Amino acid sequence: MTSEEPQLVDQNPLPAALSKRLTEQLSFLVEVDRLKTVLRASPLVAADRRENDAEHSWHLALMVMLLSDYADERIDIGHTIRLVVIHDLVEIYAGDTPLYDTAAAVDQEEREQAAADRLFRMLPADQAQWIRALWDEFEARRTPEARFAKAMDRLEPILLNWMAKGGTWQWPGVTADVIRARVSPIKDGSRQLWDAVHSMIADGVRAGWIRPGADQPGGDGVE
Amino acid sequence: MTSEEPQLVDQNPLPAALSKRLTEQLSFLVEVDRLKTVLRASPLVAADRRENDAEHSWHLALMVMLLSDYADERIDIGHTIRLVVIHDLVEIYAGDTPLYDTAAAVDQEEREQAAADRLFRMLPADQAQWIRALWDEFEARRTPEARFAKAMDRLEPILLNWMAKGGTWQWPGVTADVIRARVSPIKDGSRQLWDAVHSMIADGVRAGWIRPGADQPGGDGVE
């Protein structure tokens, strides 16, 4: 850790009586308080402000618990919850990359890899390696658990946009086609939830909260 | 559900094409967005505002993942994470009861039981029963998982108060003795974490962030 990278715990170091291992763990658990300040693009339903990453991660954990029966593949639910709990941690340093912000997506992977290196090394080596492996698993989507976790990550902002009657669906350049493409990871986790999302998008187009794609009847070809 | 109890989803009902079961589940998942607006007494480390219940619940889930080795009893980690994810849901309607607010604690159980009845019945019956059972398990603290979950629930605000060099420790009437009594559930989950908390409280008294108890040298007997 260089002097360019102050940690929150430096503001008030933990008692010297604590073991090195526990000090590292609690210092990390203080540092991740920052996730509560990383704002996402999605509007809350229950208040007039944007959602933060910690709230989002909690919401996904509950979604995994309640919607796991819709997973197309057999999943370990406890493992899937672990994936969603840690999936956004790197945004503490890398920031959130909104789903419909193509400019921000350009260097997203590079930013997030650097953030992972910086953040996870605060932990004892065995736990750093384990949390890093969980994050890599989530990103790679090569396990059934990672695919379902990513499906939840895409489904949650759909719920929020639906309740907002627009939300980030109304950003410039976003049409029904763009939305379907960006949320397509849902299809890899659950066909039933993908069908439900199709209904929501179709109803959203009919209601005027979503611009139809340029190739559809009624499409206006905006950006 | 009576007309006195509007649900958030009533603001924009889900598509009629969805199954009854999925509609109930997604309606519940919209309703729990309210947890992001239930403020706790604890100050965040990373921002100048109070923590909300959703952020807190996420933080506990990560704590369970990283600190489970300190549990005195063998615990199922996935199950313990489920307990912390749902443990504060009833506060959506019952509100938060701060740890050091003895007046609010008087009717806490009654308020929370009524809230549980109202909230969980939104779910399909099998899931309502299951989530209710998880919440009852957390409250009763009769399983190793519930004891460790409660220990995390007490430890997290200690971290936040420590970083704030006071926080709710500086409320009227709160002394080191009061704190030790209120956070004693940590002892039932982990002796090692209880020892660490003792060090933090002792250092907090020495630093002047915590008033010593009336029966201690230097105690001033406030309230």
Taking CA atoms, A107 is separated from A112, A174, B204, in Å, by: 9, 21, 44
What residues in A contact B67, CB-CB < 8 Å? 25
Tell me which chain A residue has its CA closest to the CA of residue B76.
A78
Quote the ipTM score.
0.94
Q: Provide mean pLDDT across the span A161-178.
A: 96
Largest CA distance in chain B: 70
| pLDDT for A221 | 37
pLDDT of A3 over the 90 cut: no
| pLDDT for A100 | 87
Nearest to B160 by CA among B99, B77, B222, B86: B99
Tell me which chain B residue has its CA closest to the CA of residue A128.
B66
What residues in A contact B18, CB-CB < 8 Å? 196, 199
Q: Provide mean pLDDT across the span A21-33.
A: 98
Q: Enter the tokens of residue B66.
A: 């990283």
Q: Provide mean pLDDT across the span A152-158.
A: 98
The band of B36, judged by pLDDT with boundaries at 50, 70 and 90, is: very high
Query: CA-based Rg of chain B, rounded to a whole angstrom?
Result: 19
Contacts of B114 (CB under 8 A, 6+ apart): B93, B94
Taking CA atoms, A211 is separated from A160, A175, B190, in Å, by: 17, 5, 55
| pLDDT for B93 | 96
Distance CA A131, CA A89 (A): 10
Per-residue pLDDT reduced to its tens digit, A183-207: 999 999 999 999 999 999 999 999 9
Nearest to A91 by CA among A109, A69, A64: A109
pLDDT of A222 over the 50 cut: no
How many CA atoms lie within 13 Å of A136's alpha carbon, on the beta-carbon side? 9
Q: Enter the tokens of residue A76.
A: 């370990």
The band of B216, judged by pLDDT with boundaries at 50, 70 and 90, is: low
CB distance B23 to B7 below 8 Å: no
Per-residue pLDDT reduced to its tens digit, B145-197: 999 999 999 999 999 999 999 999 999 999 999 999 999 999 999 999 999 99
* Number of continuous H segments (helices) and E segments (strands) in chain A: 10, 2
Nearest to B56 by CA among B38, B71, B69: B38
Q: Which amino acid is residue A96, in one-letter code?
A: D
Nearest to B175 by CA among B200, B221, B212, B219: B212
Per-residue pLDDT reduced to its tens digit, A79-104: 999 999 999 999 999 999 988 888 88
Q: Exposed/middle/buried for B20, CB within 10 Å: 0-12, 13-18, 19+? A: exposed
Which DSSP category does B50 fall into? E
Per-residue pLDDT reduced to its tens digit, A28-74: 999 999 999 999 999 999 999 999 999 999 999 999 999 999 999 99
Tell me which chain B residue has its CA closest to the CA of residue A54.
B55
Q: Which amino acid is residue A168, in one-letter code?
A: T
pLDDT of A217 over the 80 cut: no
Distance CA A66, CA B78 (A): 14
Which residue has 């763009």 as its token pair?
A: A178
Q: How far apart are the first and last CA of chain B?
A: 44
Q: Most A CBs within 10 Å: which of B62, B63, B160, B161, as the mutation test of the A interface?
A: B62
Q: Provide mean pLDDT across the span B59-86.
A: 98
Among candidates B12, B14, B54 on the partner chain, residue whose Cβ is nearest the Cβ of A58: B54
pLDDT of B218 over the 80 cut: no
- Inter-chain CB proximity A30 and B45 less than 8 Å: yes
| pLDDT for A215 | 55
Count CB atoms within 10 A of the CB of residue B47. 13
Nearest to B72 by CA among B201, B186, B175: B186
Q: Enter the tokens of residue A143.
A: 């396990």
Measured CA angle at A134 (ends A128, A139), to 5 deg = 125
> Higher confidence at residue B108 or residue A25?
A25
DSSP A151-183: HHHHHHHHHHHHHHTTGGGGSTT-BHHHHHHHT
> Higher confidence at residue A145 or residue A4?
A145
Q: Provide mean pLDDT across the span A1-11.
A: 77
| pLDDT for A106 | 86
| pLDDT for B28 | 98
CB distance B60 to B150 below 8 Å: no
Which residue has 């929020």 as its token pair?
A: A160
Average pLDDT over all residues of chain B: 93
- Inter-chain CB proximity B12 and A58 less than 8 Å: no
Dihedral sign, CA of A182, A183, A188, A191? negative
The pTM of the full predicted model, rounded to 2 decimals, is 0.94
Per-residue pLDDT reduced to its tens digit, A97-140: 988 888 888 899 999 999 999 999 999 999 999 999 999 999 99
- Inter-chain CB proximity B163 and A8 less than 8 Å: yes
Percent above pLDDT 70 for chain B: 94
Distance CA B95, CA B129 (A): 22
Percent above pLDDT 90 for chain B: 87
Q: Enter the tokens of residue A202.
A: 């179709």
pLDDT of B2 over the 50 cut: no
